[in-house]
C-alpha cells in the first residue's frame, strides 16, 4: 500500500488547501450577500466552531487510525458489523460528484484570467452580458477550459500524494495567502471598508429563514471539506505521532480567516465602486470585474491576481475532492494510480460536460427539473444533503461505535481537559444539529 507520506507542513498546507477553495472566495461572499450579511455570518461561524471543528478532529482520527482509503478505514475500525459500517466510507463519492461542477467553475476562472489580461467590462450590464453569454451560449469556451482544468487536476493526482498533491500545495497556498492578504490590506485603506465590516458583522435576524439556516450549516461543512472523506484520506497519509488537534485548529482558523478576508475585501470594493452584494453566483464574475474596471490600471492587475488566487484555491481543493475515490480504487481493487486518476478524471470530465450543457439555452429545458438545472442540483444535493449526512455518520461512528478507549488513547493527550467537551459535542451537539438541518431541509424542498 501507500509508502509516500505527507511531511507535517505538507499535511497542514494540503488540508488547508482542501478547505480553502471556491467555497471561501466564490461561494461564501455571494451567499452572505444573498442572506443579508451579519446574521448569516454569525450562524456560519457558530456552526464552524461548535460542529465543524469537532467533526474535523473525528474525521482526521478515522483516517489517521485507519491508514487506508475511506471504506477500508471504516471497515478496520468498526468493532463489529464491519460489513455494514464500511458503507460509511462511500461518502467519498460525494467528492467526485462535487467535481462535476467544480471543474467547470475552475474553467470559468481560467477564462477570466485570460480575458482580464486584455480588458475589463466598463459596466455591470456589460459584465452581466459577458458572463451570461459564456454561461448560456458559449459551449466551446467552457468546454475548452473545463478540459484544461481536468487535464491539470488529473496530472497532479496521478503524481501521487508526495510528488503531486503536496508539491502543488507547497507552492500555491503561500501565494494564495499573499495575494488575498495584500488585496485585503489595500481594501482596509478605502472609505467603504467600515461599511463592509458592518454588513458582515452586524446581525439582522429578519433576513434569516430556514433556507438561510440550512445553507449556513451546509456551507460550514463544505468550506471545511468535511463529510466526504477528503480530510480522512489525507490524514491516512500522515506520519504517526502527529497532533490531530492542533492540525484541525490551524486548518479551521486558516479557512475561516480566508473566507472573512475575501468577504470583507469584496464587499469593500463593491460598496466603494457601486456594486450589489446580493447579486448571487455571478458576484465575482459580474460585479467584481466591473468594479475592477473603475480602478483603472490597478484594477487590471487586481483582476488578474484575484482570478489567479481563485484558480489556486480551486485547484488545491479539487485534488482533494478526487483523491478519496482514487485511493479507494487503488486500495480495494489494486488499480495503478495512473489508471485510477484517469478514470476518475474522465468521470467528472464527461458528466461535467452535461453540467455545462444544462446551463445552455439550447439544452437547459431537457436538463432542468423543479426549477433547478442539472448543475444546480449537483451543487444542492452534495452541499446540503450528502455532506451533512457524511458528517452525521462520522460523528456517530467516532462518538458511539468506536470504543471510547481507542478514541481516548489518541485524543486525550492532545485535547487534555477539552477531551470531554469535544466528546460531548461529537455525541450530542453535532448529530442533533445535523438532524435538525436535515428535517429543515425536508421542509425547504417539500
Ligand atoms: N472546501 C472546499 C471549498 O471550500 C470544497 C471541498 C469540499 C473540498 C469537500 C474538498 C472536500 O471550496
Q: What CA dihedral angle connects 250, 15, 424 and 83, to 10 degrees? A: -170
In a domain, 339, yes or no: yes
Is 300 a domain residue?
A: yes
Q: Is 2 inside a domain boundary? A: no
With respect to residue 410, please indicate whether it lies within any of the assigned structural domains.
yes
Residue 32's Cα: distance from chain center in Å? Answer: 15
Total domain count for the chain? 1
Q: What does pLDDT average to in each consecutive run of 10 residues of the chain (446 residues)? A: 77 95 92 91 92 95 96 94 89 94 96 93 90 94 98 96 91 92 94 95 87 84 93 94 95 96 93 77 85 88 92 96 97 96 98 94 83 87 86 95 96 96 95 85 61
Closest CA to 391 of 228, 268, 271, 267: 228
Which atom from ligand 1 is nearest to the alpha carbon of 321?
10
Does residue 256's CB lie within 6 angstroms of at least one atom of ligand 1? no
Instruction: Tell me what pLDDT residue 3 has.
Output: 57
Q: Are 96 and 325 in contact (CB under 8 A)?
A: yes
pLDDT, position 444: 62
Cα–Cα distances in Å, from 417 out to 344, 398, 420, 421, 423?
43, 18, 7, 8, 11
Element housing 369 (H / E): strand 368-369
Q: Is residue 3 part of a domain?
A: no
CA of 21 to the centre of ligand 1 (A): 6
Q: 258 CB under 6 A from ligand 1? A: no
CB of 18 closer than 6 angstroms to any ligand 1 atom: yes
Closest atom of ligand 1 to 227 CA is 9
Question: How far, in Å, is the centroid of ligand 1 from the Cα of 122?
Answer: 33
The single residue listed with the C-alpha cell 508526495 is 162
Q: Tell me the C-alpha distance between 223 and 235, whole Å.
A: 18
Instruction: Return the H-helix or E-strand segment holding 152.
Output: helix 139-158
Supply the range of the domain harboring residue 160: 8-441
Kind plus residue range of the DSSP H or E element containing 424 = helix 418-424
- Whether 405 maps to a domain, the answer reads yes
Q: Is the CB of 21 under 6 A from ligand 1?
A: yes
The predicted structure's pLDDT at residue 180? 92
User: Residue 256 belongs to a domain with what CATH number?
Assistant: 1.10.4160
Alpha carbon nearest to ligand 1 atom 6, residue: 225
Pocket-testing residue among 17, 19, 52, 323, ligand 1, by greatest number of atoms within 8 A of Cβ: 19
Q: How far is the CA of 158 from the centre of ligand 1 (A)?
A: 20
**19 CB within 6 A, ligand 1:** yes
Distance CA 60, CA 52 (A): 12
The response to whether residue 247 sits with its C-beta less than 6 Å from ligand 1 reads: no
Helix (H, G, I), strand (E, B) or coil at 371: coil
317 lines ligand 1 (CB under 6 A): yes
Q: Ligand 1 center to residue 319 CA distance, Å?
A: 10
The pLDDT value recorded for residue 443 is 66
Amino acid at each position: 500500500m501507500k509508502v509516500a507520506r505527507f511531511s507535517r507542513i505538507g499535511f497542514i498546507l494540503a488540508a488547508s488547501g482542501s478547505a480553502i477553495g471556491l467555497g471561501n472566495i466564490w461561494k461564501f461572499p455571494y451567499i452572505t450577500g444573498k442572506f443579508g450579511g451579519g446574521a448569516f455570518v454569525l450562524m456560519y461561524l457558530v456552526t464552524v466552531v461548535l460542529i465543524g471543528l469537532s467533526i474535523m478532529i473525528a474525521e482526521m482520527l478515522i483516517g489517521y487510525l485507519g491508514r487506508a482509503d475511506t471504506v477500508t478505514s471504516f471497515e478496520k475500525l468498526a468493532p463489529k458489523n464491519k460489513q455494514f459500517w464500511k458503507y460509511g466510507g462511500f461518502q467519498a463519492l460525494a467528492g467526485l460528484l462535487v467535481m462535476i461542477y467544480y471543474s467547470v467553475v475552475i474553467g470559468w476562472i481560467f477564462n477570466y484570467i485570460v480575458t482580464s489580461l486584455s480588458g475589463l467590462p466598463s459596466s455591470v450590464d456589460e459584465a452581466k452580458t459577458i458572463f451570461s453569454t459564456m454561461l448560456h451560449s458559449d459551449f466551446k469556451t467552457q468546454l475548452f477550459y473545463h478540459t484544461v482544468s481536468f487535464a491539470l487536476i488529473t496530472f497532479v493526482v496521478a503524481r501521487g500524494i508526495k510528488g503531486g498533491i503536496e508539491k502543488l500545495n507547497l507552492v500555491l497556498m503561500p501565494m494564495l495567502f499573499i495575494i488575498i492578504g495584500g488585496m485585503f490590506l489595500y481594501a482596509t485603506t478605502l472609505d467603504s471598508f467600515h461599511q463592509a465590516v458592518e454588513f458582515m458583522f452586524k446581525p439582522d435576524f429578519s433576513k434569516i429563514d430556514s433556507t438561510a439556516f440550512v445553507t449556513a450549516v451546509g456551507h460550514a461543512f463544505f468550506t471545511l471539506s468535511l463529510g466526504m472523506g477528503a480530510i480522512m484520506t489525507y490524514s491516512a497519509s500522515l506520519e504517526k505521532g502527529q497532533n490531530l488537534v492542533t492540525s484541525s485548529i490551524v486548518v479551521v482558523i486558516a479557512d475561516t480567516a480566508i473566507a472573512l478576508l475575501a468577504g470583507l475585501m469584496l464587499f469593500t470594493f463593491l460598496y466603494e465602486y457601486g456594486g450589489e452584494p446580493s447579486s448571487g453566483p455571478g458576484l465575482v464574475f459580474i460585479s467584481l470585474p466591473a468594479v475592477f474596471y473603475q480602478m483603472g490600471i490597478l484594477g487590471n492587475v487586481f483582476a488578474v491576481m484575484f482570478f489567479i488566487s481563485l484558480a489556486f484555491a480551486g485547484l488545491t481543493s479539487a485534488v482533494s475532492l478526487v483523491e478519496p475515490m482514487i485511493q479507494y480504487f487503488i486500495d480495494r481493487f489494486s488499480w495503478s494510480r495512473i489508471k485510477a486518476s484517469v478514470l476518475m478524471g474522465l468521470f467528472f470530465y464527461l458528466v461535467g460536460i452535461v453540467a455545462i450543457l444544462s446551463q445552455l439555452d439550447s439544452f437547459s429545458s431537457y436538463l432542468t427539473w423543479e426549477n433547478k438545472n442539472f448543475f444546480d442540483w449537483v451543487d444542492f444535493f452534495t452541499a446540503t444533503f450528502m455532506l451533512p449526512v457524511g458528517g452525521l455518520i462520522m460523528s456517530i461512528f467516532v462518538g458511539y461505535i468506536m470504543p471510547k478507549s481507542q478514541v481516548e488513547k489518541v485524543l486525550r493527550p492532545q485535547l487534555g481537559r477539552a477531551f470531554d467537551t469535544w466528546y460531548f459535542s461529537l455525541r450530542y451537539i453535532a448529530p442533533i444539529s445535523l438532524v435538525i438541518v436535515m428535517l429543515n431541509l425536508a421542509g425547504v424542498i417539500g
